[in-house]
């Protein structure tokens, strides 16, 4: 299909995903691309498929594992994720591409709805999947807020 590799760099992933979505006219093809993205998720260790990492509010099972590091005094969060549903794994990939590897401040300032609107996903996801996306984003933002809290 001529897609650019969406895994090349953190900063370039979202731009590549948007560009690849724009190449696809049919929603069946866009859903297939989402499934393809989900297959590219870094593996989540089996031990991380636990209740602490489970995202509440998703119809499918979704797990997010958060890792915190400091870079130049700023809290930087990276995430691993997984789901038991193919399309949802693709949505997890999108969310992680948007937020993983960024500072807590950047995460809090980034609106995932802008990306989903730009990709047209806001109009093509079921209400259950939209609620699941919001739950994932809220979980990531809650982790970012916690990382910024004084210890």
- Catalytic amino acids? 58
Instruction: Give the single-character DSSP code of 149.
Output: S
DSSP sequence for 39-100: HTSPPPPGGGSSTTTBPTT-SS-EEEEEEEEEETTEEEEEEEEEESSHHHHHHHHHHHHHHT
Query: Bridge-partner residues for 75, per DSSP?
Result: 70
Strand 62-71 and strand 102-103: the pairing is: unpaired
Write b or e for each residue in 120-137: b if 16 or more Cβ atoms lie within 10 A of its Cβ, otherwise e: ebeeebeeebbebbebbb
The Cβ-side half-sphere exposure at 79, using a 13 Å CA radius, reads 29
């Amino acid at each position: 299909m001529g897609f650019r590799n969406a895994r090349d760099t953190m900063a370039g992933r979202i731009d590549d995903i948007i560009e690849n979505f724009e190449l696809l006219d049919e929603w069946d093809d866009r859903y297939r691309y989402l499934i393809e993205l989900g297959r590219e998720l870094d593996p989540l260790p089996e031990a991380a498929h636990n209740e602490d990492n489970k995202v509440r509010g998703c119809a499918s099972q979704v797990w997010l594992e958060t890792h915190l590091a400091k870079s130049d005094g700023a809290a930087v969060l990276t995430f691993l994720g997984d789901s038991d549903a193919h399309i949802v794994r693709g949505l997890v990939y999108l969310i992680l591409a948007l937020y993983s590897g960024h500072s807590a401040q950047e995460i809090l300032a980034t609106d995932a709805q802008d990306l989903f609107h730009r990709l047209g996903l806001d109009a093509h996801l079921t209400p259950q999947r939209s609620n699941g996306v919001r739950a994932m984003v809220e979980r990531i933002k809650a982790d970012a807020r916690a990382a910024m809290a004084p210890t």
